[in-house]
C-alpha cells in the first residue's frame, strides 16, 4: 500500500460516519415529530358542551336513581318495582359512563361554570336552543334547576307516602323527570358530534320517550 | 490529510554524526513509524465508524419499534369489526307493552332482535326451553346477547360447545324451534345467522355487540327480572 494514499481513508470513513449520523438525526427527528403530531382525536375541554352535559346529566340521573330507590322502600307492586329497578340500574350505569368520560378527558367532575350553561350555547346549525322560550329567549337559564329535576320537598313528599299514592306520585315525578332528561339529551344532540356522547344521548331519548308512554299508562291505571 | 502535513522526519540530535548508511536506516525507520501511525489512525477511525453506525442503526431500530408498539398495541375497535352476514335495524321502538309483539311482521325479525317489549325483562342465563320473545327483547335492551339454536340440529355436546364460547353474564342461551339456521345470535338491533356452533362469526358478534355502548341501556340489570321456564344456570 502506498503510504501517501492512506490518509484518504479516514477522510472517507468520516464522511460515511457523518452521513450515517446525519441520517440518524433526520430519522429520529422525523419519527419524534410524527409521533408527537400523530392525529389524536381532541378530547372535550372543561367548558365544552360534552363536559357540561356529562356533569349535569349525572346529577339528573342520580336523582332518578334516588327516587327509584325511595319507591322500592314504599311499594310492593311488582310492576312498579321492576320499573324502578330498570330505571335505577340503567341510569346508574349511564351516570358511571359520563363520570368515566370526564375522567378520561382529564377535566374535573366539578363544574367550572353554572349548570345548564352548555344548553344556552348555539347549536351545531347555529340556531339557539330556544324552544319553549319567548321571543327567541332561551328557556334555560344557567344556574337554574335542570328541567324535570324534583325539589327537595317533592322527594320528602315521596318518602312520606306508601302503596298506590307513592306509586302515583313517583310516576308523576318520573314522567316530568324523563321529559326534562329527553330535553337535555336532545340539547346535546343538537350541539355535539362526539360519537360516544351522541350514541348515549340518542339511547336516552328513545328509551325515556318509551318509558314516558308506559308510565302514563301506569299512572292512568292508578287514577 | 494533505501531503504537506507529513514533513520529512526530524532526525534526533544524536543522528547528526551518523554515517550515510545509518542516516538512511534512521530515515527508513522513521518512515515505517509514520506509516504505522497512519495505519493505526485509520484502524481507529474504522472502529469509531463501525461503532457509531451500529449505535445509530440500533437507535433507529429502537425508535421505530417504540413508535410502532406505542401506536399499534393490538387494539380492535369494536366499531371496526365487520361481522359477515350481520343484519341490523335502525329506529326500533322502545315501547313497553304487556301484549304480544309481531316481530316478524313489524320488523322482519325471527327471532326478534329489538323493538317493543314487555316491561319485565327475562333474566339472563342458560335455558333448555323456549322463551317469551317480548321479555327476551327487554334483556337485549340491557345489553345482553341472546343466542338461540334449533333444537333439531344441535345435540347436548353442541349446546355445551356453544355455551363455552359465551361470556358468563348478559347472555341468554335458549332453544328456538323451527329456527331457519342452526344458531342465531341476536343483540339489540343486530343479528347474525350462524352455520353451526363452531362458526367463528359468533366471537366477532359478541365482541362487537355484547354490552355495546350503542345499546340504549347497556349495564341495566339482567337479573331480578323474570325467570323463564327451563332455567339451568
pLDDT tens digits along A54-69: 999 999 999 999 999 9
B146 forms bridges with which residues in the sheet? B172, B186
Put simply, the answer to whether B59 touches A79 (Cβ < 8 Å) is no
Instruction: Please report, rounded to a whole number, the percentage of residues in chain B having pLDDT higher than 90.
Output: 65
* Polymer length of chain A: 223
Q: Which residue spans within chain B are E strands per DSSP? A: 87-88, 125-126, 145-149, 171-175, 183-187, 190-194
Residue A35: alpha-carbon gap to chain centroid: 29
A 64-93 residues inside an 8 A Cβ radius of B: 79, 82-83, 85-86, 89-90, 93
Residue B153 has pLDDT above 50, yes or no: yes
- Residues (pLDDT < 70) of chain A are 1-11, 34-35, 37-41, 127-139
Verify whether the Cβ–Cβ distance A3 to B35 is below 8 Å: yes
**pLDDT given for residue A102 in this prediction:** 96
Q: Cβ–Cβ contacts within 10 Å for residue A179, how many? A: 14
Across B121-127, average pLDDT: 97
Q: What is the DSSP string of B107-128?
A: H--SS--SSSB-SSPBPPEEBS
Strands B171-175 and B145-149: parallel
Residue of A nearest to B141 (CA): A207
Residue A183, pLDDT score? 96
Can you spell out the DSSP letters for B56-83? HHHHHHHHHHHHHHHH--S---GGG---
**Three-class SS state of A92:** helix
What tens digit of pLDDT does each residue of B192-225 get? Answer: 999 999 999 999 999 999 999 999 899 999 999 9
CB pairs under 8 A between A and B: 119
Helix, strand, coil abundance in chain A, percent, nearest 5: 70, 0, 30
CA dihedral of residues A31, A33, A39, A44 (deg, nearest 10) = 140
- Non-local (6+) Cβ contacts of B201 within 8 A are B83, B84, B85, B86, B192, B194
Rounded CA-CA distance B205/B215 in Å is 14
* pLDDT at res. A27: 75
CA A93 to chain centre: 12
* Interchain proximity A199–B213, CB inside 8 Å: yes
Set of chain A residues whose Cβ sits within 8 Å of the Cβ of B216: 203-204, 206-207
Tell if the CB–CB gap between A35 and B219 is shorter than 8 Å. Answer: no
**Residue of A3, A17, A31 lying closest to B49 (CB–CB):** A17
- Asked if residues B148 and B186 have their Cβ atoms less than 8 Å apart, the reply is yes
- Convert the pLDDT of each residue in B15-73 to its tens digit: 556 788 888 888 889 998 999 999 988 888 888 888 888 888 888 888 777 767 666 65
pLDDT at B3 over 70: no
Contact A11 B60 (CB under 8 A): no
Contacts of A79 in chain B (CB under 8 A): 119-120
Amino acid at each position: 500500500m502506498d503510504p501517501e494514499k492512506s490518509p484518504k481513508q479516514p477522510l472517507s470513513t468520516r464522511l460515511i460516519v457523518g452521513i450515517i449520523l446525519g441520517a440518524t438525526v433526520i430519522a429520529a427527528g422525523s419519527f419524534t415529530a410524527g409521533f408527537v403530531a400523530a392525529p389524536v382525536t381532541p378530547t372535550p375541554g372543561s367548558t365544552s358542551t360534552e363536559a357540561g352535559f356529562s356533569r349535569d346529566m349525572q346529577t339528573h340521573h342520580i336523582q332518578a336513581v334516588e327516587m327509584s330507590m325511595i319507591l322500592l322502600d314504599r311499594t310492593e307492586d311488582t310492576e312498579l318495582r321492576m320499573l324502578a329497578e330498570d330505571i335505577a340500574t340503567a341510569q346508574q350505569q349511564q351516570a358511571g359512563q359520563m363520570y368515566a368520560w370526564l375522567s378520561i378527558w382529564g377535566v374535573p367532575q366539578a363544574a367550572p361554570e353554572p349548570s345548564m350553561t352548555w344548553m344556552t350555547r348555539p347549536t351545531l346549525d347555529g340556531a339557539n336552543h330556544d324552544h319553549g322560550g319567548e321571543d327567541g329567549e332561551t328557556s334555560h337559564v344557567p344556574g337554574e334547576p335542570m328541567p324535570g329535576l324534583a325539589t327537595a320537598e317533592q322527594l320528602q313528599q315521596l318518602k312520606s307516602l306508601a302503596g298506590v299514592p307513592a306509586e302515583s306520585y313517583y310516576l308523576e315525578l318520573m314522567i316530568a323527570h324523563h321529559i326534562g332528561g329527553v330535553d337535555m339529551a336532545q340539547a346535546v344532540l343538537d350541539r355535539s358530534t362526539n360519537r360516544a356522547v351522541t350514541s348515549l344521548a340518542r339511547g336516552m331519548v328513545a328509551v325515556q320517550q318509551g318509558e314516558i308512554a308506559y308510565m302514563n299508562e301506569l299512572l292512568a291505571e292508578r287514577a | 490529510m494533505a501531503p504537506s502535513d507529513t514533513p520529512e522526519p526530524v532526525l534526533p540530535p544524536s543522528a547528526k554524526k551518523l554515517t550515510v548508511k545509518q542516516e538512511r536506516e534512521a530515515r527508513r525507520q522513521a518512515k515505517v513509524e509514520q506509516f504505522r501511525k497512519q495505519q493505526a489512525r485509520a484502524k481507529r477511525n474504522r472502529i469509531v465508524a463501525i461503532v457509531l453506525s451500529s449505535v445509530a442503526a440500533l437507535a433507529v431500530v429502537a425508535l421505530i419499534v417504540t413508535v410502532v408498539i406505542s401506536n399499534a398495541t393490538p387494539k380492535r375497535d369494536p366499531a371496526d369489526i365487520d361481522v359477515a352476514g350481520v343484519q341490523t335495524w335502525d329506529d326500533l321502538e322502545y315501547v313497553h307493552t304487556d301484549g304480544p309483539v309481531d316481530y316478524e311482521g313489524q320488523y322482519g325479525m325471527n327471532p326478534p332482535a329489538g323493538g317493543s317489549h314487555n316491561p319485565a325483562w327475562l333474566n339472563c342465563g342458560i335455558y333448555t326451553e323456549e322463551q317469551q320473545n317480548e321479555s327476551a327483547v327487554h334483556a337485549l335492551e340491557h345489553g345482553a346477547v341472546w343466542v338461540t339454536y334449533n333444537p333439531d340440529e344441535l345435540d347436548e355436546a353442541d349446546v355445551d360447545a356453544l355455551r363455552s364460547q359465551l361470556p358468563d353474564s348478559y347472555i341468554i342461551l335458549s332453544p328456538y324451534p323451527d329456527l331457519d339456521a342452526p344458531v342465531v345470535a341476536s343483540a339489540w338491533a343486530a343479528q347474525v345467522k350462524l352455520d353451526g356452533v363452531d362458526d367463528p362469526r359468533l366471537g366477532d358478534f359478541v365482541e362487537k355487540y355484547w354490552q355495546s355502548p350503542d345499546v340504549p341501556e347497556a349495564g341495566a340489570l339482567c337479573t331480578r327480572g323474570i325467570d323463564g321456564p327451563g332455567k339451568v344456570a
